[in-house]
Amino acid sequence: MQKKTFQVSEEIMATQGQRFAHYILDLIFEYVLMFTIFIMLAIIARLVGNTAVIEWMGSMNDFESIMVMIVVILFYCNATEILFSRTIAKFITGTIVVLEDGSRPDRDTILIRSVCRLIPFDHFSFLGTPARGWHDSLSHTYVVNKKMLEAQLHEFRKPAVEEMPAEVAIEPSNEPDQTA
CA distance 26 to 101: 26
For residue 96, give every residue at least 6 positions away whose Cβ sits within 8 Å of its Cβ, in sequence order, or none. Answer: 85, 86, 90, 143, 144, 146, 149
Query: Do 92 and 82 meet the contact criterion of CB atoms below 8 Å apart?
Result: no
**pLDDT (tens digit per residue) in 115-172:** 999 998 888 887 777 778 889 999 999 999 999 999 998 888 877 655 555 554 445 5
Query: Do 99 and 22 meet the contact criterion of CB atoms below 8 Å apart?
Result: no
- Is 85's pLDDT higher than 60? yes
Q: Which of 40-44, 90-94, 111-115, 129-133 has the lowest mean pLDDT?
A: 129-133
Average pLDDT over all residues of the chain: 87
The answer as to whether 102 is a domain residue is yes
The answer as to whether 42 is a domain residue is yes
The answer as to whether 169 is a domain residue is no
The answer as to whether 73 is a domain residue is yes
The answer as to whether 2 is a domain residue is no
Instruction: Tell me which residue range forms the domain holding 81.
Output: 10-157
The answer as to whether 171 is a domain residue is no
- Is 18's pLDDT higher than 70? yes
pTM equals 0.79
Quote the pLDDT of residue 139.
Answer: 95
When divided into structural domains, the chain yields a total of 1
- Determine the longest span between alpha carbons in the chain, in angstroms: 92
- Is 21's pLDDT higher than 90? yes
Quote the pLDDT of residue 156.
Answer: 85
The answer as to whether 165 is a domain residue is no
**pLDDT (tens digit per residue) in 53-79:** 889 988 999 999 999 999 999 999 999
Tell whether the torsion through CA atoms of 164, 166, 169 and 171 is positive or negative. Answer: positive
Quote the pLDDT of residue 169.
Answer: 46
The answer as to whether 101 is a domain residue is yes
Quote the pLDDT of residue 94.
Answer: 97
Quote the pLDDT of residue 172.
Answer: 52
Tell whether the torsion through CA atoms of 83, 87, 92 and 97 is positive or negative. Answer: negative
Quote the pLDDT of residue 62.
Answer: 94
